[in-house]
Amino acid sequence: MEGFTPTEARILKVLADGQRHSKDELFKCLEDDLSSMNALEVRICHLRKKINPKAEEIIVEWWQRKRFYRQVRLLYPPERG
C-alpha cells in the first residue's frame, strides 16, 4: 500500500473487510512486544488523517460493552477547509 507504513498497511488489511474488529485484534498488527494500547490509538489516529481525504473513515462501534473499529467509505468526500 502506497503512502502507508508497514504497520498501517497491516491494520488496513485487517479493516478492509468492512467488519468490526476489536482493539486486541488490531493490536496484533503492531508486532512489537513493547507497544501499548496507546500506541494503537496513535496509529489509528494517523490512519484516519491519511484515509479521510480519500472519503474513508475508521469508526468506533460499541458492542456488548466493548470497543470495536470498522473502516467505512463516506458517501460524500470530507469538506476541504
Q: Which domains does the chain have, with CATH numbers?
A: 6-73 (1.10.10.10)
Q: What are phi and psi of 44, to 5 degrees?
A: -65, -40
Segment 17-42, tens digit of pLDDT: 999 999 999 999 998 777 888 999 99
Amino acid 79: pLDDT: 74
pTM across the whole model: 0.85
- Count the residues in the chain: 81
For residue 34, what are the CA distances in angstroms to 7, 28, 37, 72, 80? 14, 12, 10, 30, 37
Q: What is the mean pLDDT of residues 8-12?
A: 95
